[in-house]
A and B are shown apart, each in its own frame.
Chain A
Amino acid sequence: MKRRLLPVLALLLLLAVPASATELIPGDADGDGVLTSGEYASAVLAYLDTAYMGGAGDLDRDEIRDAAWVYARWDGKPREVVDSSGQTVTLYRPLRRVVTFSGESLETLRSLGFDMENVVAVDKYSHEKSTFFPECREKANVGSIWSPDMEKVLSVRPDAVFLYATISTAACDDIQQRLEASSPGIRVLRFDCFKPATYATEIRTIASIVDETERGEEFATFYSSTMDQIRDGTTGIPDNEKTRVYFEYWFDHTTVAASAGYNEKTELAGGMNPFAIGTAEYPVVDPEAILVTDPQVIIKLAGQGLAVGGYAGHDPEALDAIRSALVERPGWSRISAVKDGRVHVIHSDILGGAQHFIGTAYLAKWFYPDRFADLDPHAIHQRYLTEFQGIDFDLASEGTFVYP
């Protein structure tokens, strides 16, 4: 019986040990944490001897390629990064087998030109987004942070796993602890990639991890230029002159309060949310209260709860129907936003995640059409998809993100 169990245990152990479990740079013969020129040259000769000359070394092709990477790109030293949870992570090799539990991190990796072949498994939501992440259709699905498939994670032998930093922290902490307990070599990297306050820094940090610093700078500059234009355009507007906004979440009469990310973007765009006060993230409000505040602009969120539009399909009629239902609510004809035709539907695909800068640009333009006459969110969106995401998606005929 015991003999039968041994191979099973050995297999489990193999599965649990990631490709880069060792805490050394390949070829670092003296183990001092620095791959010197001499050590690298010796490692190359040892590899050539084994691969071509009949020698019997233990360095394989992957290892010598990793050694070359570290020698050339990291100056022969491990790379230390501080992620958005504040933990310092030391990398001894480039990332070649990545698992992402966060679609935002996955999207950011793609923006940075990371070879998506090196992503071996993704969360279930990214797996389902076959239009936006077509390359993930065939990758392993590791579930969600709330229901992770840990066996699947370990079976793909990742060298790094991306989790959220500051949201769903209990669930992400639990996944991190389980990974570190079973496979200490796995690097757990935690980033949000959806917060305006931290995204530019996160872009640069992740770019440093995957050694795409030039591309990272280019992308961070592109992102920041949009956000800075919005911030600059709304600077100095007195509170009592700010555009009064009612932001309705997916569900009827549910709005966003101060702690919600959508409120942050509304305020960044210069909007004043009369319902921002309160502890609940998404409070339900009295319909009469909406009439009393008389919003100048109304924003309705489409997306997960109202599953139309976005990258999933070109369906402006569906967004039009959502808008029509809003303006036909009892008493709404008296609201300034309705009278002035300033009721807009926006899809969460461009406001909630890594693309929040696109949605925020739309908000700014709707709140202050004169101040942002030169801001072109549609062009920013198309450039993002073509230049940074590298996907063939023509906004003129595909997807529906805003209406009107």
Chain B
Amino acid sequence: MIGLPANRLFCLLLLSLFIPAVVCGTPVTRTLSTAEPGAGEVFTVSLSVDGIALGGVVETLPTGYAFAGTDHPDDRVLVRGQQIGFAVMNETGITYSVTAPASGSGDITGTWEDFLGETDGEVAASHVAVDGIETAAENSGEKPAAQEAASPFAALAAVAAILIAGWGGRR
């Protein structure tokens, strides 16, 4: 068994405390059938909704990527440009399809609201790149106001914890 210096162990402990706070706690999470679709390929985006009885989710697709359909009831979906709005009414999951462009990469971003719980937040971004090739093109969707106002604390805390761990290891 390889021994770890006490200060590094302490920093790892700190990391273990911070990382769950960053990753967990959001009631909406997104998974992609693939993050590296082929040109023109239709891939699936699955949103897992936990604990929101009545709420809403707005997803924003990167430039060039197009909404291609959903299993969500028609009267609970609204598409405007690169954005798709879903009315959540006791669903625990929403699946929708996206057609990839000939080339391009970017983030699928999202925001959610729980109307009964009176809370709101962001869905963690999911990166996609056609054939895994990164391009300079950025996400075209305008960030919603709620997204822009989101607290950077979680990300900062994770970065700080990683830096502390690195510093602790060197000593």
Contacts and interface: CB of A to CB of B under 8 A. Distances in A.
A72 B87 contact: no
B78 A54 contact: no
Q: Classify chain B: how many residues form its interface, as a range.
A: 20 to 34
B146 A53 contact: no
A44 interface: yes
Contacts of A55: 80
Contacts of B75: 38, 41-42
A38 B75 CA distance: 7
Contacts of B55: 68
Contacts of B56: 44-45, 47-48
A71 interface: yes
A72 B144 CA distance: 27
B87 A44 contact: yes
A51 B145 contact: yes
A114 to B, nearest CB: 15
A47 B78 CA distance: 11
Contacts of A53: 58, 78, 80-81, 83, 85, 144
Contacts of A68: 54-55, 115-116
Contacts of A38: 75
A337 interface: no
A131 B45 CA distance: 55
Given A38-B75, A52-B83, A71 B54 contact: yes
A58 interface: no
B111 interface: yes
A395 to B, nearest CB: 35
B17 interface: no
Contacts of B71: none
Interface in B50-80: 53-56, 58, 73, 75-78, 80
B80 A54 contact: yes
A65 interface: yes
A285 to B, nearest CB: 57
A69 B53 CA distance: 11
B41 interface: no
Contacts of A52: 58, 83, 85, 111, 144-146
A49 interface: yes
A302 B31 CA distance: 67
A41 B85 CA distance: 11
Contacts of A259: none
Interface string B137-171: 00000101110000000000000000000000000
A51 B54 contact: no
B80 A49 contact: yes
Contacts of A41: 73, 75-76, 87, 89
Contact of A37 (B81, B85, B88, B89): B89
A401 interface: no
Interface string A32-48: 00000110111011011
Interface in A51-107: 51-55, 61, 64-65, 67-69, 71-72
Contacts of A47: 56
Nearest to A64: B115
B80 A40 contact: no
Interface string B83-127: 101111100000000000000000000010101101000000000
Contacts of A49: 78, 80, 85
Contacts of B80: 49, 53-55
A47 B113 CA distance: 11
Contact of B78 (A37, A45, A64, A71): A45
Contacts of A69: 115-116
A51 B115 CA distance: 13
Given A37-B89, A48-B78, A72 B83 contact: no
A265 to B, nearest CB: 41
B145 A72 contact: no
20 contacts: A37-B89, A38-B75, A40-B54, A40-B89, A41-B76, A44-B76, A44-B87, A45-B77, A48-B85, A49-B85, A52-B58, A52-B85, A53-B78, A53-B85, A54-B80, A61-B113, A64-B115, A67-B115, A68-B116, A69-B115
Closest 9 CB pairs between A and B?
A68-B115, A44-B87, A48-B85, A52-B144, A68-B54, A52-B58, A45-B78, A41-B87, A53-B80
Given A44-B88, A45-B76, A53-B144, 4 more contacts: A40-B89, A41-B73, A44-B87, A54-B81
Interface of A: 37-38, 40-42, 44-45, 47-49, 51-55, 61, 64-65, 67-69, 71-72
